A and B are shown apart, each in its own frame.
Chain A
Amino acid sequence: MTTRIDTRFAELKKAGRSAFVTYVMAGDPDLTTSLNIVKALPKAGADVIELGIPFTDPMADGPSIQAAGLRALKNGMTLKKTLELVRGFRKDDNFTPLVLMGYYNPIYIYGVDKFLADAKTAGVDGLIIVDLPPEEDDELCIPALKAGLNFIRLATPTTDDKRLPAVLANTSGFVYYVSIAGITGAAAADANAVGEAVARIKRHTKLPICVGFGIRTPEAARAIAEKADGSVVGTALVDALKNSLDAEGRATAKTVNAVAELTAALAQGVKGAQQAAE
């Protein structure tokens, strides 16, 4: 079965360029603005959209994404409304791959089978669930694969060659390489070290490898794009959004554009990259 993710990476490979993956938090700062932001991302140059599911206790996220989740929750965001947002996006866009990223508890409470059915219907293509390592594959990964959704796994600098096969075993869509040991928005990734890591993972899989954590600027995105099949930017976009809000944390006329403009600049960086030799 082919998902929008598979199709998109195949197209990009043909075109000889690396993917630009954007992360924003669903419902940040409110549902309507958030939908408008997500709609603006493909036009601004996003090849794949990661949409954060807000959670009160995001253990692997830095202060920016934590705050984004809390802003969304404060304005009544839920997992159900996150799926509504995806449905809203799919009305106008049936091509851009959309991946939900978050933590397991809201999905577990929603009910795994119902969530997978509703997510598939809404137009979700894949899931990245931070706190579900391969040791817990029975929980969501295997059911998600059966439901026709990609389950995208994180590989990290601590995932050694011995462990990689287990991490890759039920992974589909793409592999998300976390470029640093740390939380989102922390230290910058070293492009050379990333290149070595990507090469190492490539020895174990044919899946595309996207790199995230610590990429903030068009230059950094370009450097990573030369080493990997895609680069993911999250915290920088979330920060741009936050800086456009008013003193009470509400969206302003500038909010959607603030995210779209940075997305466009980053996308330019990625598109300027020389694709790494296969």
Chain B
Amino acid sequence: MNIVKPNSYRSGPDERGHFGIFGGRFVAETLMPLILDLEKAYTAAKADPAFQAEMNGYLKNYVGRPSPLYFAERLTEHLGGAKIYLKREELNHTGSHKVNNVLGQIMLARRMGKKRIIAETGAGQHGVATATLCARFGLECIVYMGAVDVERQQQNVIRMEMLGATVMPVQSGTRTLKDAMNEALRDWVTNVHNTFYCIGTVAGPHPYPMMVRDFQSIIGNETKTQMQEVEGRLPDSLVACIGGGSNAMGLFHPFLDDSSVEIFGVEAAGHGLTQLHAASIAGGRPGVLHGNRTYLLMDADGQITDAHSISAGLDYPGIGPEHSWLHEIGRVNYLSATDDEALAAFQLLSKLEGIIPALEPAHAIAKVMELAPKQARDHLMVVNLSGRGDKDVPQVGDILRGKSK
């Protein structure tokens, strides 16, 4: 394939929401006027200093930003190569990076006069963040969650309910994140006038991939400043896990035009790439689902196939369209880590650094364990620690006890 390298990797999407051939607005007519409205409202908010100032206030005093850039000294010693920094998104209020985006979207919903918020969630981190901001601003909140995920992420279900949200278990299809997204879209189509759909990742119809990326880019922007302060230069590499890819895009995007920075996204390889997995780029091809064209897991007939990952947050058969483009154009390297590799990384980080990661960023740590030892001691590697592992403690505990029997 002939691919012309762009002057900048940061100029997308075009006005129709395309990143190369990816992205777009593949939605039912009922939703199209809403999406156009949203785009208009977002463009206006983005240009409004008052909106930015209000958001920055909440990011500082409610979310707790900036999140630290922490030198993981013992992990670095253990792996014996690159100097590893963790971007501590797990220290945000609600325990993950998800809150950065939700804050932005909820402020936008308020600006648009929408009183009813719907969201989809996989691991429950986006659902918890949405329920939290809805509580804070007194908005009705309905969270769609696959019935399988409701089972394996009980703690987050309880948290959402405590925050006043209604959790709707989704019984259709594979009963995971993709079906939760279908059901949220069905809700939106039905309740067009008062409802704002707060999408949790850099996917969906334009303008969502762009808007969520913009709200999450604070991760990369802070990292750039912090690394400059500590090391006086850019990092040499970035590593982040990818389900839909919002934490990764947030870290990567501000660095895309810094050609010296190598970038690695880590998909979930589940039981392995030849078996059930959730690695859309490694095991999928371009198709159209949930409002955008992107890499998807599907069969020869274009039917979406089941994804699998130990981590509910990565258990999705697609990936954000900008990632698909960055893959095709070769700017980001997409790797994958299996369930077992993620579990090993989960334990290693807990024991060496006293930080229990969520299973999602444990996939990123798993690849750091491979990448870091190959690098020199002065190589600066940043890993996005996108969420904390409290929610996964019961599940991992069961697995480890089962294994030790």
**Among listed B29-37, B307-315, B353-361, B388-396, interface-contacting one:** B29-37
Q: How far is the CA of A108 from the CA of B193 in the complex (A)?
A: 32
Classify the secondary structure of B's interface with A.
mixed
Complex Cα–Cα for A160 and B289 (A): 26
Q: Are B28 and A59 in contact (CB under 8 A)?
A: yes
- Judge whether B398 is part of the interface by a CB distance below 8 angstroms: no
The residues in A between 46 and 101 inclusive whose CB is less than 8 angstroms from any CB of B are 54-60, 62-63, 66, 70, 73, 78-80
Cβ of B33 and Cβ of A158 under 8 Å apart? yes
Q: Name A110's contact: one of B25, B33, B172, B302 (CB within 8 Å).
A: B302
Minimum CB–CB distance from A56 to chain B (whole Å) comes to: 5
Cβ-based interface call for A155 (8 A): yes
B190–A57 CB distance below 8 A: no
A238–B178 Cα distance when bound, in Å, is 24
Whether A131 contacts B28 by the Cβ 8 Å rule is: yes
The stretch of A117-125, A178-186, A188-196, A252-260 that contacts the partner chain: A178-186
Whole-angstrom distance from the CB of A125 to the nearest CB of chain B? 21
> A181 to B186, alpha carbons, bound, how many Å?
10
Q: Judge whether A105 is part of the interface by a CB distance below 8 angstroms.
A: yes
Task: Let me know if A156 and B16 touch, CB within 8 A.
Answer: no
Point out the residue from B25, B287, B290, B300 that lies within 8 Å of A108, measured CB to CB: B287
Q: How many Å from the CB of A100 to the closest CB on chain B? A: 14
Quote the shortest CB–CB distance from B137 to chain A (angstroms): 25
**CB neighbours of A110 from chain B (8 A):** 301-302
Q: Does A278 lie at the interface of the complex (its beta carbon under 8 Å from any beta carbon of B)?
A: no
Query: Which listed residue, A59, A80, A131, touches B186 by the CB 8 Å rule?
Result: A59
B25 touches A135 (CB 8 A): yes
Interface secondary structure of A, over-half rule: loop
The reply on A248 being an interface residue by CB < 8 A is no
- Is B303 at the interface (CB under 8 A from chain A)? yes
Q: A105-B298, A131-B288, A181-B190 are in contact. Are A56 and B303 (CB under 8 A)?
A: yes
Size of interface on B: residues with Cβ below 8 Å to A: 37
CB neighbours of B24 from chain A (8 A): 135-136
> Are B304 and A133 within 8 A (Cβ)?
no
A66-B172, A105-B298 given; A133·B303 CB < 8 A: no
- B57 interfacial contact with A, CB 8 Å: no
CA distance A68 to B291 in the complex (A): 22
> Is there an interface contact between B30 and A55, defined as CB atoms closer than 8 Å?
no
- Assuming the A-B contacts A108-B302, A109-B298, are A57 and B29 also in contact, with contact meaning beta carbons closer than 8 angstroms in the complex? no
Contacts of B32 in A (CB 8 A): 133, 135, 158-159, 163
Contacts of B276 in A (CB 8 A): none
Establish whether residues A57 and B173, one from each chain, have CB atoms under 8 Å apart when the complex forms: yes
Name A140-156 residues within 8 Å CB distance of B.
153-156
Known contacts A63-B172, A78-B301, A79-B302: A167-B16 contact under CB 8 Å: no
A-B contact count (CB 8 A): 120
For residue A156, which residue of chain B has the nearest CB? B30
Which residue in B30, B179, B287, B291 is a CB contact (below 8 Å) of A109? B287
The answer, yes or no, to whether A130 is at the interface (CB within 8 Å) is yes
Asked whether any CB of chain A lies closer than 8 Å to the CB of B349, the reply is: no
For residue A106, CB closer than 8 A to chain B, the reply is yes
In the complex formed, the residue of A with least CB distance to B34 is A158
Interface flags for A203-227 (1: CB within 8 Å of B; 0: not) read 0000000000000000000000000
Interface membership of chain B positions 14-55, coded 1 if the CB is closer than 8 angstroms to chain A and 0 otherwise: 001000000011111111111000000000000000000000
Complex alpha-carbon distance, A277 and B215, angstroms = 54
CB–CB A158/B304 < 8 A: no
Shortest Cβ distance from residue A85 to the other chain B in the assembled complex, whole angstroms = 14
Across the interface, do B301 and A153 meet the contact criterion of CB distance under 8 Å? no
Expressed in whole angstroms, the Cα–Cα distance for A183 and B186 within the complex equals 6
CB <8 Å contact, A167 and B302: no
Q: Are B290 and A167 in contact (CB under 8 A)?
A: no
Which of B26, B173, B179 has the most C-beta atoms of chain A within 10 angstroms of its own C-beta? B26
Note all chain B residues with C-beta closer than 8 A to A133.
25-29, 32
B303–A106 touching, CB < 8 Å: yes
**Interface pairs A-B: 6 shortest CB-CB:** A109-B302, A106-B302, A182-B190, A78-B301, A156-B30, A131-B26
Q: A107-B302, A133-B29 are in contact. List 14 more A-B contacts (CB 8 A).
A: A54-B303, A57-B178, A60-B186, A79-B301, A105-B298, A108-B288, A109-B302, A133-B27, A154-B29, A155-B29, A158-B30, A159-B29, A163-B32, A183-B189
Q: Which residues of A contact B (CB under 8 A)?
A: 54-60, 62-63, 66, 70, 73, 78-80, 103-110, 130-133, 135-136, 153-160, 163, 167, 178, 181-183, 186
